[in-house]
Amino acid sequence: MSHSADTHFVVFTTQRNGSTWLISVLNGLDDVTAHGEVLLPRPRSKERRWDSDFAYPRYFESKAEHGSLRPFSLYRYLDTLYSSRGAVGFKLMYSQVRAYPEVIPYLMRKRIPVVHLVRQNHLDVLISSQIKRSIGKAHILSPSDRPEDVRVNIDTTTLLKDLEKLRFRHDLGRRLLRICRLSHLEVAYEDLVSGQARFDDVLGFLSIRTGHGLSESNILKTRLGGQRQVIRNYDDVRAVLQNSEFSGLLN
C-alpha cells in the first residue's frame, strides 16, 4: 500500500507525446489523482474516453461555480482541483499556456513541480497524428476498436519543416520552465515505455511512493508496426531524411 505525500503537480507537454498514457498510469496508483486536459477550452466530449467515468469538470465548464473573471476564477478552480488529499495533478499543454498565461504565475507562486514530457522521435509524432486523423480517434480502449491495418502517408514536401516545428516547441517549453524557475523533471516518452527505471525517477520527483509495480493503462497502442510497415511512402520519407539532421529518427 502506498502513502503518497500531498503533492500538487503538472504534466507539461504537447499533443501526441504519450501524455494521456502517462496520466492514466499515474492515476492508477494509490493516493494519486491525475486529470487530463482540464484547461481544454471546450466541454467534454460524449465519446467514450479513458476517464469518462470520473473525469474532473474542465475550467470551461465551471463558470457557474467559480465565476468567469480571470485570473481569479482560474485560481479558484485550480485551488479546488488541488484540494484533494494525496498526489494531485493535471495535464497542461503548451497551447493552453498561450490561452491561459495566468497559469504560470499560479504554478510559480504555489511552487508546483512540473514533469516535462517530451517525445524524442518527432517522426513518430507525425505518424501518430496521421493515424489519429485516419481513424478519427485519439486513443484506442478496446482491441476490437483497433484497425487491423493502419497505414498513413507523410507529406514529404513539408516534412523537414514539420520536424523543426516539433523540436522548436520542445525547446520553447524548456525555455519557459527555466525562465520561470519552475522545479521540473524532463522525461522522454520513449524512456518511460522502455522500463521501470525512468518511471521511478518521475515517482521520486513527485514524492509518490508505491509498494507495487505500475498499473496497466486502459489505453491501448494504436500502432503496432514499425515505421516501414506503417508509412505507405516510407522510401520517399527516407530519401528526404537520410542526409538531414533528422536521419536518426528513421528506424
Residue 7, C-beta contacts closer than 8 angstroms, at least 6 positions apart? 86, 87, 88, 89, 113, 206, 207, 208
Query: Is residue 185 classed as helix, strand or coil in its secondary structure?
Result: strand
Look at residue 111 in the predicted model and tell me its pLDDT: 97
Grid coordinates 489523482 are at which residue? Answer: 33
Q: What is the pLDDT of residues 129-184, one digit of tens each?
A: 998 887 766 676 666 667 677 899 999 999 999 999 999 999 999 999 999 999 99
Q: Name which of 39, 50, 46 is nearest 10 in CA terms.
A: 39
Look at residue 195 in the predicted model and tell me its pLDDT: 82
Confirm whether 2 is domain-assigned.
no
Look at residue 2 in the predicted model and tell me its pLDDT: 47
Look at residue 1 in the predicted model and tell me its pLDDT: 43
Cα distances (Å, whole numbers) of residue 176 to 55, 75, 179, 184, 205: 28, 20, 5, 11, 19
Confirm whether 210 is domain-assigned.
yes
Report how many domains make up the chain. 1
Look at residue 238 in the predicted model and tell me its pLDDT: 98
Confirm whether 17 is domain-assigned.
yes
Confirm whether 3 is domain-assigned.
no
Segments of the chain with pLDDT less than 70: 1-5, 136-138, 140-145, 147, 211-213
Q: Name which of 190, 215, 191 is nearest 201 in CA terms.
A: 191
Residue 187 φ/ψ, nearest 5 degrees: -135, 145
Q: Record the cell numbers describing residue 225, joined without a space.
A: 508496426
Confirm whether 237 is domain-assigned.
yes
| Helix (DSSP H) and strand (DSSP E) numbers for the chain | 11, 5
Q: Which residues pair with 49 in a beta bridge?
A: none
Confirm whether 219 is domain-assigned.
yes
Q: What is the pLDDT of residues 41-59, one digit of tens each?
A: 888 777 777 777 788 999 9
Cis, bond preceding 71 (omega within 30 deg of 0): yes
8 A C-beta contact, residue 8 and residue 106: no
Confirm whether 26 is domain-assigned.
yes
Look at residue 144 in the predicted model and tell me its pLDDT: 64
Range of the domain at 174: 8-249
Side chain identity, residue 125? V
CA distance 119 to 11: 13
8 A C-beta contact, residue 96 and residue 74: no
**Which CATH number is 185's domain given?**
3.40.50
8 A C-beta contact, residue 127 and residue 206: no
Alpha helices in 5-112 (DSSP H): 19-27, 63-66, 72-81, 94-99, 103-110
